[in-house]
A and B are shown apart, each in its own frame.
Chain A
Amino acid sequence: MRTQTALGAAAVLLLAAAAYVGLFASPPDAFQGEYVRIMYAHVPNAWVAYLAFAITFASSALYLWKRRSGYDHVAHSATELGVLFTGLALATGSMWGRPVWGTWWTWDARLVTTAILFLIYSGALLVRGLSDDPQRGARLAAVIGIIGFLDIPVIHYSVTWFRTLHQPASIGPGSLKIAPPMLLALLLSLLAFTVLFAYLLRLRTSLARLEAGAELS
């Protein structure tokens, strides 16, 4: 409980610091102007989403191997948070894309892969919710958590090559040169979001454990 409170306090402090550095202390971008500040919210969202899906994969595999419900609670919580942060990453990316690229959406590989991931893991949550029995739901969701994660590299490369055969990718990671103060702001918000994610994951996992306990009694 005390760890949880400390983690929450750290998340709040780091988020406040990241917000200050991202909004005021860091310089505007030479090309993107003030819009570059959306990056400090967008990139951490995407990072946390991928982190969550990696945790889903690991805990799903552990659950199927060891069959301890604790692993399933972590997998369930990580899937939910992953879907949430994928949605946020898509939304913030769209808001950033509108002023910078001039469009809400483009068929860039990264965008399509992220949207597909959102669908796969929403499917995992649906399967869990719609199965007749919680244990079976846990097993089936773990299976999707595993095959979905194995699919990520294949989806990413296939989506990249599907488009790049015809047109070069509009925005690549190398095209955004990043200045040291901006890098600092980005790293700070990455850290803040990671701590926030750790806090939420612990909170959600203990909620899942309590829910399972309530169902048994």
Chain B
Amino acid sequence: MNGLLRAAAVARKDLLVEWRGRQTTTATGMVALLMILLLGFVIGSEPGRAAAVLWVALGFAAVVGIPRITQSEVEQQALETLLLYPGSREHLYWGKSVALLIMLAALLVALLLLLGLLFSVDVWSHWGALLGVGMLGIVGLSAIGTLLAALVLHVRGRELLMPLLLLPLALPVVLGCVRLTEAVLADTPAGLWPVVLVAFDLVYLLVCPILFEVVMEEV
């Protein structure tokens, strides 16, 4: 069986498990919704703040949701079996990160719609560009997030460590997406931000699969 199929099988399994329980999506969606309501209420819901609120909310939702993608393997002791399947662990990484990417993309779509309602920004006429910017960010988040989710697996207090590791490391994603989303909404030039995001995505898409194999070694 080739690598692509193996990765697709892992992604399909993760998405199917998520679809049956829908725990992670519900929890992360609630966190994001809470952040948006809280920030919108506290700092005011002017359209100019929409981009910052969106990406801070998505960042926190990612912190809550990302550890869950390897949690089920631990809770059901399925990790050993998953690692025993033949082939490279890199495929496991790709499968898991694609599943994460799809979940985060669904969250992004929901949040964009919500933002259009709550912050009275015109998301419809910029739909394609907003999604494009969002995908640039989400690719980076899931590239590094999948590695970190595997990394905190065998560490005590993993819920505490995830924000501490993910938020500083993914800071360029949040900053870049805030500025790019602002640029899209205000029809201003994007500057060098697409380069920053693409550079971030490429570096971590190259490095994280290799390091994932290191992280997944048994002791």
Interface of A toward B, CB cutoff 8 Å: 64, 116, 119-120, 122-123, 126-127, 130-133, 135-136, 139-140, 142-144, 146-148, 150-151, 154-155, 157-159, 161-162, 165
Contacts and interface: CB of A to CB of B under 8 A. Distances in A.
A116 to B, nearest CB: 5
B93 interface: no
Interface in B161-219: 161, 164-165, 168-169, 171-172, 175-176, 178-179, 191-193, 196, 199-200, 203-204, 207-208, 211, 214-215, 217, 219
A139 B172 CA distance: 25
A173 B164 CA distance: 30
B144 interface: yes
Contact of A147 (B191, B199, B208): B208
Nearest to B157: A130
B179 A139 contact: no
Contact of A131 (B154, B176, B191): B154
A154 B155 contact: no
Interface in B40-57: none
Nearest to B173: A158
Interface residues of B, number: 34
A144 to B, nearest CB: 7
B151 interface: yes
B147 interface: yes
A161 B154 contact: no
B131 to A, nearest CB: 21
Contact of B164 (A64, A123, A147, A154): A123
A45 to B, nearest CB: 20
Query: Which of B157, B169, B178 lies at the interface centre, i.e. has the most chain A CB atoms within 10 A of its CB?
Result: B169
Contact of B151 (A140, A151, A159): A140
B215 A140 contact: yes
A130 B155 CA distance: 6
Contacts of A158: 171-172, 175-176, 196
Contacts of B191: 161, 165
B156 interface: yes
A214 to B, nearest CB: 20
A162 to B, nearest CB: 5
16 contacts: A123-B168, A127-B155, A127-B161, A130-B157, A131-B154, A131-B156, A132-B156, A140-B215, A146-B211, A147-B144, A147-B147, A147-B208, A155-B168, A161-B179, A161-B193, A162-B178
Given A154-B196, A154-B199, A165-B179, A147 B172 contact: no
A130 B161 contact: yes
Contact of B154 (A123, A132, A162): A132
A151 B154 contact: no
Residues of A contacting B: mostly: helix
Contacts of A132: 154-156
A150 B207 contact: yes
Contact of A64 (B144, B154, B214): B214
Contacts of A161: 179, 191-193, 196
A181 to B, nearest CB: 39
B168 A116 contact: yes
Question: Most B CB atoms within 10 A — which of A120, A139, A154, A161?
Answer: A154
B168 A147 contact: no
Interface in B143-159: 144, 147, 151-152, 154-157
Nearest to B176: A158
A30 to B, nearest CB: 36
Contacts of A162: 175, 178-179
Closest 10 interchain pairs by CB? Answer: A158-B172, A119-B168, A154-B172, A158-B175, A130-B156, A162-B175, A123-B164, A123-B165, A120-B168, A116-B168
Nearest to A118: B168
Contacts of A122: 164
A158 B173 CA distance: 9
